[in-house]
Structure 1
Amino acid sequence: MSIPAGSIGLNIDPSASAAQDAQRLARLAEDSGLDFIGVQDHPYHPEFFDTWTFITALTMATERLSFVTNVANTVLRPPAQLIKAASTLGLLGGNRIVLGVGAGAARPAIASYGGPEYTPGQSVAAFDEAMQIMKAMSDPAARPVRFNGDYHRINGARPGPLPSKPVPIMVGSYGPRMLRITGRLGDGWLPTNAYAPPPVVAEMQRTIDEAAIGAGRDPKAVQRIYNVMGTITTTGPVADGQNLTGPVEFWVDTLQRYRDELGFDSFLFWPVNADNLAQTALFAEQVAPHVRTAGSGGQK
């Protein structure tokens, strides 16, 4: 995996108004020992750069950090081209790319950019097909690739060039059907605490595990990374919900609990409603080291 279990990362928004901050955040993350960067993919947002171009710039400006699309929109990004882009950057950037993908929830916004306005059921079915194509296009032995689905067709595509290790494909999923796809085909699960709060995680984890077993896979083959949005404060009160809010000690204790009780092996920090550079420094210097050294925990 490009993001080993036990890793700790940072979200960086592909925001045009904060482009200089993005470079500083990436350097701070690398210098302070964080492991990876996540970048969201909303091409229809007029304030956001294209995610792949943005990640490419940050990849070339760093040496050690891995990068994950968090998550790439498979409705606007055809799957064969998407895995080709990820494989290309993985090959050129030293196997530091992880492809996080999702079914695309913002249907009107997707339609505004020329994409199909699928129903929720159609979105999941199209995503299942996209996953099958991307897995096939990552396999050096699968030449040529043919796929005849209801939403995607591949007619003798020849994959390549491919990196020395296949690009891991992680899934941002929440509903039962998407969770089952994650367990059956995904290399990892990439939920966010705002949409998968702690009280519902155990059932979601079980759905992934059961789907993995049903597909003849070891559930441990599916990595679990938790996007944690919130703010590190100097004092209380504390909040453990859609946004995690509290002092350093609270963050350390809570992330340890998320690892040990909820089954997450890695975390991606999203600072909200505060100065990103200051929050990143606090997290990297005072939270991450204690979470790392508290024990392995993680996947069941």
Structure 2
Amino acid sequence: MDYGHELQFGVFASPDASRVHETLELAQLADVLGLDLFTVQDHPYNAKHLDTSTLLTAVAARTTSVRVAANVANLPLRPPVGLAKAVATLDVISGGRAELGLGTGAFWDAIVAAGGERRSPKQAVDALVEAIHIIRATWGQDPAQPGARSVTLEGEHYSVKGMHAGPFPVHPVEIWLGAYKPRMLRVTGRLADGWLPSQGYAEPDALPALNNAIDVAAESAGRGPQAIRRMYNVFGQFGAGSGFLRGTARDWAEQLAGLSLTAGMSTYVLGTDDPDVLRRFAGEVAPAVRELVGTERAHRADGSAPRSAPTAPSATVTSGTRAADSRSPLTVRATPDDGARLSAERPWREDDRPVTAKPDDAAYSSAEQAVPQHLVDVHDHLRGELAQLRDIVGQVRRGSLSTGAARSVLNTMAMRQNNWTLGAYCETYCRLVTGHHTLEDRSIFVHLRRAEPDLGPVIDRLEQEHHVIADVLEQVDEALVGLVGTDGYGQAGEGALDEIERALDLLTDTLLSHLAYEERELLHPLARNGFG
């Protein structure tokens, strides 16, 4: 079963008090890598763990787009009114980036030692149901009382009598339940926005049956199975080996894509504190999973592949390998180059680029058109990341110019934060561009040369431009070295900012021109031949 949810990827980090700075840097890395979620476990009785709600607030303050959540909040030690207020506050502070993972509690001896109440399995689930109603009502998001300004619930475990609701989150906060047993699965189907099991407690082969229990409860509640996002805390190791999430990034991608297509899982949260592992997960695994699932969903939608495909789709998409479907002129459009340039430097001439014929009468299936569309989608991601990078540099400059003696300490801290974020972002972005070009040079371009020898001059030119862009990326890196050379108060000098803006202007000119040229010349060949 594939519920059709958008794929999301995140990290499940440790709140170890001895490595708080590493955890915060991991969160910032997750943010600049474009991951969707940063989560941490919540065991308030653990003496080695930071407080989850405080840590997530610090993470939200240091990031701009990643969503944050407890994975999962320990309800017996987090009374629902206080928990609702904490999450709503976090959502307001973060601009709508807080979610709530929630559990009934475990390790009852430790909970009792920390002042909590020992509950039987039935009592724990009853308390969870009461808490969900109180939390949603406190947020003003109770479906039974939308917009209600007061909260009243006479429960066995929690009672609230006429409490004023608020503060209200700035977006509809999702509640995800860590559930495994039949009754909790039924509660998930009735009340939750997401199901968040962990590998080790629910192995991949157990997921379809557990999903089915949620589906039945959702149908009975009049919601439908699609109302519940299916999430999965996963753990793995890159390198030699066999088994689930053992082996290469491609092995990981195929296994996770298979779970999305056959078991309905759509959000993968990787348990790791290793920044290198996180980079591979975000930069290699996540894009490949999206490609595999997106291609298979497109085939299923147009009837060219069975809807009950039992395994992850092949990474190879080539012309003529799918059942015939309706064909139409190429609908994918190359991104236009408006000719505007920011830099006075010209690393190449643009009027001597080789070109290929663009057949006006060519027609392609929807599966074939999906291949060049994927190239444009990847390029759009690079363009968007570049725009965000330029915006970050602008923020650094604005922070530098606003520094004043009366607020020197505050602005020094802000500048250090901005400089770190800029450095991490540039490093990540350069890695992303280089990885994309390496993939093209070593795989896609080799395939196209063999399929259409007449493309040789165009591919030669594209590869030459890859080398030029690599040199420009090195200039960006060198400019970052100058940015790190701040004064004793952590303020970036104007010269360092000027140099990085110069390098970014040149990168903008070369990269955007190159991407537009590549799309103009390769959309038809990719539709004819696939990625190889």
TM-score, normalisation: structure 1? 0.91
| Mapping 1:117-196, distance limit 5 Å | 117-139=118-140, 141-196=147-202
Aligned counterparts of 1:295 and 1:251: Cα–Cα separation in 2: 13
User: For residues 240-299 of structure 1, what are the alpha-carbon distances to aligned partners after superposition, in whole Å with 9 as ceiling and x for unaligned?
Assistant: 2xxx3222121111111111111011111113xxx712211221222111112223479x
User: For residues 183-240 of structure 1, what are the alpha-carbon distances to aligned partners after superposition, in whole Å with 9 as ceiling and x for unaligned?
Assistant: 111011111111111121111111111111111112211111111112222x2x2122
Which range is displaced more, 150-159 or 28-37?
28-37
| Mapping 1:28-177, distance limit 5 Å | 28-139=29-140, 141-177=147-183
**Contact 2:15 / 2:52 at 8 angstroms: preserved in 1?**
yes
Amino acid at match of 1:23: L
Larger radius of gyration: 2
User: For residues 76-105 of structure 1, what are the alpha-carbon distances to aligned partners after superposition, in whole Å with 9 as ceiling and x for unaligned?
Assistant: 101121111111110121110110100001
Is the counterpart of residue 197 in structure 1 residue 203 in structure 2?
yes
User: For residues 114-159 of structure 1, what are the alpha-carbon distances to aligned partners after superposition, in whole Å with 9 as ceiling and x for unaligned?
Assistant: 0011122211111121112222222262221111111110111111
Aligned counterparts of 2:98 and 2:197: Cα–Cα separation in 1: 18
Aligned counterparts of 1:170 and 1:40: Cα–Cα separation in 2: 13
Aligned counterparts of 1:83 and 1:5: Cα–Cα separation in 2: 27
**Contact 1:32 / 1:284 at 8 angstroms: preserved in 2?**
yes
Amino acid at match of 2:237: T
C-alpha displacement of 1:163: 2.2
Amino acid at match of 2:134: I
3-state DSSP of counterpart to 1:295? helix
5+ long unaligned stretches in structure 1: none
Question: Which residue does 2:315 correspond to in 1?
Answer: none
Question: Which residue does 2:288 correspond to in 1?
Answer: 290
**Contact 1:41 / 1:50 at 8 angstroms: preserved in 2?**
yes
Question: Which residue does 2:278 correspond to in 1?
Answer: 280
Question: Which residue does 2:213 correspond to in 1?
Answer: 207
Task: Find 2:227's aligned residue among 212, 221, 225.
Answer: 221
Aligned counterparts of 1:214 and 1:137: Cα–Cα separation in 2: 26
Question: Which residue does 1:8 correspond to in 2?
Answer: 9
**Contact 1:34 / 1:65 at 8 angstroms: preserved in 2?**
yes
Aligned counterparts of 2:6 and 2:169: Cα–Cα separation in 1: 21
Which range is displaced more, 46-55 or 257-266?
257-266
Amino acid at match of 1:168: E
**Contact 1:226 / 1:266 at 8 angstroms: preserved in 2?**
yes
| Mapping 1:236-275, distance limit 5 Å | 237-240=241-244, 244-271=245-272
More helix by share: 2
Amino acid at match of 2:211: Q
Aligned counterparts of 2:172 and 2:83: Cα–Cα separation in 1: 14
Q: State the Cα RMSD in Å.
A: 1.7
**Contact 2:254 / 2:292 at 8 angstroms: preserved in 1?**
no
3-state DSSP of counterpart to 2:106? coil
3-state DSSP of counterpart to 1:239? coil
Greater RCO (Cα-Cα under 8 Å, separation 6 or more): 1
5+ long unaligned stretches in structure 2: 141-145, 298-307, 309-532
Which range is displaced more, 280-289 or 172-181?
280-289
Aligned counterparts of 1:165 and 1:135: Cα–Cα separation in 2: 12
C-alpha displacement of 1:161: 1.7
Aligned counterparts of 1:84 and 1:5: Cα–Cα separation in 2: 29
3-state DSSP of counterpart to 2:222? coil
**Contact 2:199 / 2:232 at 8 angstroms: preserved in 1?**
yes
Aligned counterparts of 2:191 and 2:174: Cα–Cα separation in 1: 11
Amino acid at match of 1:191: P
Amino acid at match of 2:171: K
Which range is displaced more, 218-227 or 54-63?
218-227
Aligned counterparts of 1:222 and 1:31: Cα–Cα separation in 2: 28
Amino acid at match of 1:32: L
More strand by share: 1
TM-score, normalisation: structure 2? 0.52
**Contact 2:138 / 2:168 at 8 angstroms: preserved in 1?**
no
Aligned counterparts of 1:164 and 1:29: Cα–Cα separation in 2: 23
Residue correspondences, number = 288
Amino acid at match of 1:182: T
User: For residues 2-52 of structure 1, what are the alpha-carbon distances to aligned partners after superposition, in whole Å with 9 as ceiling and x for unaligned?
Assistant: xx8311111121111221211221122122221111111011111100000
**Contact 2:233 / 2:269 at 8 angstroms: preserved in 1?**
yes
Identity %: 39
Aligned counterparts of 1:164 and 1:123: Cα–Cα separation in 2: 30
